[in-house]
Amino acid sequence: MNKEEWITLLDEFKLEYKTNGVLSKESREKLDKYKAIAIEEGYITSKDLNDISKISSVVVNDKINNDKKPLQASFVNRGPRNFVDGEKAVDTKGTINRLFSYFKSEVKLLVFLFISIVLVVLCQVIVPRLQSNAIDYIDDRLFDKLPFALLLMILFFVILSIFNFVQGLLSAKLSQNIVLKMRNDLFKKIINLPISYFDSNSHGDIMSRMTNDVDNVSNTLAQSLGSLFSGVLMILGTVIMMVLTCAPLAALSCIIVILTVLVTKYLSKAMKKFFKRRQALLGRLNGSVEEMVVGHKSVAAFSKEDKVVAEFEEISCELTKAGIIAEILGGSMGPIMNCINNIGFVIIALFGGYFAYKGIISVGVISAFIIYAKQFSRPINEIAQLYGQLQTAIASSERIFAVMDEELEDNSGSIKLDNIEGLIEFKNVDFSYVVGHKVLHDFSLDIYSGHKVALVGATGSGKTTVVNLLMRFYNIQNGSILIDGKNIMDISLDNLRDNLGIVLQDTVLFNDTIRNNLKYANSNISDEEMYKASKECYCDTFIKQLKDGYDTVISEGGSNLSQGQRQLLAICRAFLADPKILILDEATSSVDTRTEKHIQDAMIKLMKNKTSLIIAHRLSTILDADLIVVMDNGRIVEMGNHEELIRKNGKYADLYSRQFAGEGI
Partner 1 sequence: MFKYVKRYWYYALLAPIFMLGEVIMDLLQPNLLARIIDDGVLGLNNSGVGDINVVINIGLLMIGTVIVGAVSGILSGVFAQLCSQKFANDLRVDSFKRVMNLSFEQTYEFSVGSLITRITNDITQIQNFLGLLIRGFVRTLALFIGGIIFMLMLDISFGLILFCSMPIVIVFIYLFLKKARPQYKKLQENLDKLNSIMQEDVSGARVIKAYVKEKDEVNKFNKASKNLSKIQFFVLKLFSYMNPISNLILNFTIVAVIYVGGINIKLNSGITTGDIMAAITYTSMILNALLRMANLFQVFSRAQVSVARINAVLNCLPVISDGDFCEDTKIKGKIELRNVSFAYPDSPSVNVLENLNLVINPGETIGILGSTGSGKSSLVNLLPRFYDCTKGEVLIDDVNVKEYKLDKLRSKISIALQKSELFSTTIFENITWGREDATLGDVRKAASIAQASDFIEAKKDGYFTMIAEKGMSLSGGQKQRINIARCILKEASIIIFDDSTSALDLKTESLLYKELKKNYSDTTKIIITQRIASIKDANRIVVLDKGVIVGIGTHDELLEKCVIYQEIYNSQLKGGVVHE
Residue 247 or 339: which CB sits closer to partner 1? 339
360, 363, 368, 374: CA torsion to nearest 10: 100
Residue 96 or 166: which CB sits closer to partner 1? 166
Least distance in angstroms from the C-beta of 94 to partner 1: 26
CA angle 524, 529, 532 (to 5 degrees): 155
Residue 22 or 119: which CB sits closer to partner 1? 119
Least distance in angstroms from the C-beta of 201 to partner 1: 9
Least distance in angstroms from the C-beta of 344 to partner 1: 10
Residue 427 or 651: which CB sits closer to partner 1? 651
Contact (Cβ atoms closer than 8 angstroms) between residue 134 and residue 149: yes
Which of 255, 310, 256 lies closest to 288 in space, CA to CA?
310
Residue 96 or 415: which CB sits closer to partner 1? 415
Residue 139 or 446: which CB sits closer to partner 1? 139
Q: Is the dihedral of CA 496, 456, 195, 434 positive or negative?
A: negative
Least distance in angstroms from the C-beta of 266 to partner 1: 15
Contact (Cβ atoms closer than 8 angstroms) between residue 55 and residue 23: yes
- The three-state DSSP-derived secondary structure of 229-259 is HHHHHHHHHHHHHHHHHCHHHHHHHHHHHHH
Least distance in angstroms from the C-beta of 475 to partner 1: 13
Residues 509 and 511: their CA atoms lie apart, in Å, by: 7
Residues 299 and 286: their CA atoms lie apart, in Å, by: 17
Neighbours of 459 (CB within 10 A): 7
Instruction: Report the relative pairing of strands 635-640 and 627-632 from DSSP bridges.
Output: antiparallel
Neighbours of 631 (CB within 10 A): 25
Quickly list H helices, 580-631.
593-606
Contact (Cβ atoms closer than 8 angstroms) between residue 146 and residue 85: no
Residue 128 or 237: which CB sits closer to partner 1? 128
Q: Is the dihedral of CA 30, 35, 38, 44 positive or negative?
A: positive
Backbone angles phi, psi at 429, to 5 degrees: -85, 125
Residue 61 or 202: which CB sits closer to partner 1? 202
Residues 202 and 135: their CA atoms lie apart, in Å, by: 65
Contact (Cβ atoms closer than 8 angstroms) between residue 60 and residue 274: no
Residues 336 and 53: their CA atoms lie apart, in Å, by: 41
Least distance in angstroms from the C-beta of 532 to partner 1: 20
Least distance in angstroms from the C-beta of 125 to partner 1: 15
Residue 388 or 564: which CB sits closer to partner 1? 564
Least distance in angstroms from the C-beta of 391 to partner 1: 23
Neighbours of 537 (CB within 10 A): 25
Least distance in angstroms from the C-beta of 107 to partner 1: 20
Least distance in angstroms from the C-beta of 313 to partner 1: 5
Residue 89 or 315: which CB sits closer to partner 1? 315
